[in-house]
Each structure stands twice: as C-alpha cells, then as structure tokens.
Structure 1
C-alpha cells in the first residue's frame, strides 16, 4: 500500500471524498468572495480615527490567524475575518455616537474575546449549538442563503435602496449590473456542465468584463510592502472597563458575535452535510475556540471582532470539505499583504454572482422543514425571513428561538423545549426590551 501524503494524513481528504485540487480551488473561491473585507474594514475603522493602512495589515493578520486555526484545530473549510455589522457597531455606535476613543472600542472587543475563550473552554457555546432544534438549523441555512444573495444583489447594484419602498430594482444597464449578470450566466453554464471551480471561473470572467467596461482598472503595480501595525497594535484602554457603559458595549459585541458565528456554522455545515445523526457538528469545540482566539488576537493587533464568514459557503459550494480549503484561504490572505494591488482590482460586482448562486445552493434544506406543524414552520420561517430583512444572522436566530419556545409552550409541547432554549428566549426578550 502506497504511503499516504502529508496532506492526506493531515486533512483526511479521501475520508471527506475530496482532493487537493478541489480544496485549493474552493479556498481560492472563498477568498475571492470575502476579499472585499480588506478594503471595507480599513475604510470603516478609519472613520473611527484609526490608521487605515495599519488596519489593513491587522485585518489580514487576524483573518489569517483565525482561518489557520480553523484549518488545523477543527479541519473545517470555514474562513474568518472582521465581521460586517460588528465593525459598523464599533465605528458608528461606540466611537462616533457614544463618543468613545477607538482604543475603548478595541478594549471591549478584547474583553469579549476573552469571555469567548472561556465560553469555548467550558463548552457553553457548544451547548447552545446543540440546543437549537433541527427545524431551526434548517431554517438558518436557508436564511443565510437569502442573506448572502441579498448581499450579492446589493453589491452588484441590482438591488438598491429606495426611500419610498426601502429597496427596489437598480439600473440593469449599468456596468456593475452587467458584470454581475454576465457572471451569473457563466457560472450557470459551468454548473450545468459540472465544471469544478465554476464559482471561481465566474469571478475571474466577470473581472475581465469589469476591466473592459471600466468598472475596475488594471493595477499600476503588482507588489507593495504592508503598512506598519505600530499606530494601532496593543492600544488598549483600561481606565473605564468597570462601568455600566463598558458592560453594555461588551455585551452587544458578545451577543451578536455568538449568534453570528453559531448561525454561520449551522448554515454552512448543514449545506455541506457535515452535521451528524443528531444534527450536531462534530469537532465543534475547536471551531468555536478558533473564532474566540482570533477575536482576542485581532483586538490586540488593531481590528474589530473577527468571526466566521458566511462567504465560506462559496468554497463549500465549490467542493471544499476540509481544513485544506481554509488553509488555502489563509495563505491568500497572507499573500495579499504584498499583492493587494492585484486583489484590489476584483470589484464587488464580480464576486456578486458567486454569492447569489451560493444563496441558491443553501436553499435546499427548506424541503426538510415540516410546514404542516406550525410550531416548527413559523419559527423556521421567521428565522429565514429575518436574516435578509434585518440584515443580520443573529436577528434571525433570535426570532426563531424565541418564537419556537413561546409557541411550543403555549400549545402544550413543553417536551420539545429545553431549559437552555427557555433561558435563551428570556435573554433575547430582555435584550430587546432593555437594549
């Protein structure tokens, strides 16, 4: 018997019915669909007064660290980076609205990360994951699918903001929309022909059209040295940590991050058939610990909360099943420290088709929801609907769990509701009432 390769032994590729080529292609796809964070996060945190170049470097290093840990500790194809929504809360609420310095906000993220590590060590987050009923886990997958579809449509300018109707159709003849529509057609044809790496090929083809149409430009240079971390690294503020306001800020970061991460893990793992016979995710503890360590380290480096990205679903949809996918993504993050001019030319409209198609892929668990039992279908539906409409994975889980508990208790089905689910529902209601 031939000796197994190092990658086979380390990532158990044959056991997961995958190959090195498939995993690498999937890792590239994941990176392409989430690389927008390398432009968005520095720009957003710079509004809080942070050095934009330093945040760029911190975002990459924290993303690479978390994704490498996910690869090596959990062997899952999930990638991590600075979470959207959490970075907005960091900048617009804690700094610009509440009037705190960005060092105060970083300290809150650091404290949140430490709490996360403790929750992971004592399996608190794992218990929450296991307590969520199967019907909600199916709903989370579908909801995330609609959520990232909406992100893709907005990024392409196909769906736009409208003061009268909240959202409406955009100008489909505009170059970004044409790029996205072209990418959808390319990916659709390739999927029909069972071509591996369809999403990645679609992104690259769309980028070429984007250059032709003037949506993006060829880079003026290939290499660049990464900016220094010195202006933001290890800049924590300890003078106001024992205050009611700091408690509120830490709790908000903690609350959203817990359920964003759990929701993403549930949704992507459900689509990839990674859940076991009890609808639990094996090796969940190391996955959650990776996320917690990345958040803590990210705060020290100088970036907002690091979390598992829903865009990981694009790599899973392209066949990624092991940590080799996430290790590839992490490698590209590190490479982008020096090759950002290359990666920066890929516009959001070119990655939008991949997100839209992934949304389609993640719809399939909807068929497993029992729509005849309203104590299951209503919570699942609220989970699905609230994720795109509230623009938050966490909000979908809040509405799903709370409605599941209330409906089952009121209809005499208390055996379906665990004590932990009841405690979570009470926590959610208190959080919503008192903010």
Structure 2
C-alpha cells in the first residue's frame, strides 16, 4: 500500500488515509437514501436504485483510487438525479411514454461515452489545467459556500422565505441545535489537533440525536422528513435487490434524435463542469496542485469519472460524478487513492448494511460540511484583487454564483464567460487559451438553451 499509493511522498500514513476515507463516506452516504427516493419518481424500484447507487459508487471510487491515486469519491450526482427524474421521466410519463427511465439511462450511457472520448483527447485535462489561477481559487471558495448552504438547508438552519428568499429556521428544533453543536465540537477538536476531528464530529452529533429521540425531544415524523435515528433491522433488509441492469431504450433515441441530443447535452454540460469544479476544489484544498497550479494526472481523474458514469448507466442509476464532499476527507488528512479505496470498500459494505448507514441523518453530516466550507473559503486569501480585471471579476463571479444560483456549474459558467469577455474587451485576446475559447462556445450554447427553456436549470 505504501509503495502503490506513495503515502510518504504525500506526507500521510495508513491510519490517516483510512480515517479520511471513512469521513468522506459518512459525508456523502446520504446519497444512498436520497437517490432511491428521487429516482422512484421516474418509475424505478427504490430498492433496485439503492443497490445500483452503492455498487456504481464503489466501482467508480475504486477506479479513481487505483487509476488516478486521488482522495476523490464518486456517486450519483445530486441535481443530475433530479433532472433525470423530474425534467425527463415525469414529463415523458405524462405524455404516455412507457418506462421513460430507460430513455434517461440511455442518455447517461451516451454522455459517459462522450466523456471518455473527451478525456482521451486531453480536452478535459486542459480545461482543468488552463483555468486561470484566480478563477481556480474563486471556484474553490464558491464550492465552499455552496456546500455550506446545502448543509444549512439539510439541517433546517435556513429555510425558504417568500419575502427574503431565505431566512433562519426553527432555532429550537433538535436538528438546528445539534447541527450547530456538532460544528462547534469539530472546531474544538480541530483546535486541540485531534485526529479525525470531522469524523468524530459526525458520530458525536448522530449519538446526540439518538439521545434526543430517546428523551422525546426529537420526534419521528416521516411526513416531515424526520425519520428514526436508530437503525431498524430485519432479515430482508440485508439482502440487496437486483439493479435494473442494461435497461436501455435505443429505439426511442433513434426516432427522436433531436430531443435525445438535448437530453444528452444537459447531462454532459452539468457533469463536465461539476466534475472540473470539484476536482479543482479538492486538489486545491489538499495541496495536490503542482507548482504551476495544474492538476497532475488530470486525465486519469477525469477518465475515472467518465468510466463511473458508464458503469452507473449500465447498473441503472443517474450520472455518477466526483463528489465535493470528498473535501471532508481531504480536510481530515486524506491525500492519496487509499482514502478513495477506503470509501469505495465502505460503499460495498453498505450494500449489505443499508439500515445502519441510512440512519445517519442529514443534520449529523451538516457540521462536517460546514467546517469544510470554512476551510475552502480560505482560498480567497490567495486571490489577487488588483491587476487584471478579468482575473478579479471571474473569480468573484464564481464565488457568488455557485451558492446564490444553487449550482456549481453555473458558478463556473459565469466565471469563465466573464473572464473571456473581459479579456476580449481589454485587448488581450491572445492570452485566451484554446480550451477557454471552446468553453466559451459551450456556454453560449448553454445560454441559448436556458433562454428558450431547454435542458437542465
């Protein structure tokens, strides 16, 4: 393990890597509960989706571990699964199309194949490495704010409001209180340099939640989304349901080629830039970028993501992508593929122990994501706010548009487009790399689809 993952070279050890892998897993295990719930709206069996989600996450994460040697975990992407279910399958079902999820899975498969081709042509690698430094730091900070707002929403710390868009939630709810307490626990443990402080914060918060349920403060209300915090065991719950293997519909795609291309482009666009943003954010936080600010082995990392997407489609789940929650493991010291290896193994174990892992509530992982957001936001100090206006504004746009439009992809879109436009206006067109020109063209098409109400929002 030492020689393969080069632990000493990355200033880490086996214990740290395993702890980081467990931390990453606990930060993203919610997908095993959320994905079946979302994709069930498409007509898919939730139990089959659970199995597909766990296996595809394990497979893709192990590929990342051994092919790229990065502490990045993968699973079915949030947002992409909602697009799969509610923007594709539900409208098709209303139009009378049978098993629309098979069409969506076909689109995911095609998207994955295109991703592989893009990876082999070095386009995605150049996209990662040719992004301006200021924009990279802005993307890192923006992702930090994005995962914070996701975490706050998950614990009910912030809720929607008709007048102010968002407002503070019920301060007296156990979810609110325990999430804040958990965040402070992580901060205290970090202050005293306790190893695995983020993982301990998750577990302590979960235990406090179970105590709250036992004393009657936390009340189980399934309609309100408050499930029991205690794992429920039954003999059947340990037997995994067979996934929807190779459930494709190429016939519909062939007869409706224009509509199918639009669906594929929507998947392709969001997955491409979410993946790039996540890799930049994780690598920056883990000091994995080289002296020029580029990501070594970017091709291998991007290819791992693409292979994971193809595997997910074959198994019967929505697009598999790199998870920003990997930063939780990086913040715990993870630096190599051994972190991803640990996470991947735990996803395999989760197939047979789903009652335990699904019982971890969102408010228990909220403190971890909040603390990671704090750490990632610190990249702002590396940004230069004087000098080239394109660098300054592009980084700023990435920071603000991610959390406020609730999309990593949108933040990257506005950041890159503003950089290219300002370079042109300031007479510095020669400084624009070819890959940024291509990205700008993609975003022009993306804007057109948004203007006419086509594709993912």
Normalising by structure 1, what TM-score? 0.96
In structure 1, runs of 5+ residues without a counterpart are 1-6
The equivalent of 1:385 in structure 2 is 400
Is the contact between residue 222 and residue 339 of structure 1 (CA under 8 Å) also seen in structure 2? no
**Aligned match of 2:8 in 10, 14, 20?**
14
CA displacement 1:157-201 (0-9 Å, x = unmatched): 101111222111111210101110110111011010011100000
How is 1:112-127 mapped onto 2 (pairs within 5 angstroms)?
Answer: 112-127=111-126
The equivalent of 1:133 in structure 2 is 132
Is the contact between residue 141 and residue 399 of structure 2 (CA under 8 Å) also seen in structure 1? yes
CA distance in 2, matches of 1:431, 1:199: 38
CA distance in 2, matches of 1:220, 1:272: 37
The equivalent of 1:250 in structure 2 is 264
How is 1:366-377 mapped onto 2 (pairs within 5 angstroms)?
Answer: 366-373=380-387, 374-377=389-392
Is the contact between residue 57 and residue 226 of structure 1 (CA under 8 Å) also seen in structure 2? no
1:234 partnered with 2:246: yes
Moved over 6 A (4+): none
CA distance in 1, matches of 2:384, 2:121: 34
Q: CA deviation at 1:334?
A: 0.7
How is 1:293-308 mapped onto 2 (pairs within 5 angstroms)?
Answer: 293-308=307-322
Is the contact between residue 397 and residue 414 of structure 2 (CA under 8 Å) also seen in structure 1? yes
CA distance in 2, matches of 1:381, 1:417: 19
Is the contact between residue 229 and residue 301 of structure 1 (CA under 8 Å) also seen in structure 2? no
1:432 partnered with 2:447: yes
Is the contact between residue 64 and residue 301 of structure 2 (CA under 8 Å) also seen in structure 1? yes
CA distance in 1, matches of 2:229, 2:384: 49
CA distance in 1, matches of 2:432, 2:375: 30
The equivalent of 2:222 in structure 1 is none
Worse overlay, 127-136 or 46-55: 127-136
CA displacement 1:127-157 (0-9 Å, x = unmatched): 2112211111111100000001111111111
Q: State the SS of the aligned residue for 2:167.
A: strand
CA distance in 2, matches of 1:191, 1:146: 20
Q: CA deviation at 1:414?
A: 2.2
Q: State the SS of the aligned residue for 1:81.
A: strand
Q: CA deviation at 1:247?
A: 0.3
1:331 partnered with 2:345: yes
In structure 2, runs of 5+ residues without a counterpart are 219-227, 451-457
Backbone CA RMSD of aligned residues = 1.3
Q: CA deviation at 1:368?
A: 1.5
Q: CA deviation at 1:222?
A: 7.6
Is the contact between residue 26 and residue 197 of structure 1 (CA under 8 Å) also seen in structure 2? yes
Worse overlay, 97-106 or 167-176: 97-106
In the alignment of these two chains, the number of paired residues is 428
**Aligned match of 1:95 in 89, 92, 111?**
89
1:167 partnered with 2:180: no
Q: CA deviation at 1:403?
A: 0.1
- Alpha-carbon distance change, 206 to 257 in structure 1, aligned in 2, over 3 angstroms: same
Is the contact between residue 57 and residue 344 of structure 2 (CA under 8 Å) also seen in structure 1? yes
Q: CA deviation at 1:38?
A: 0.2
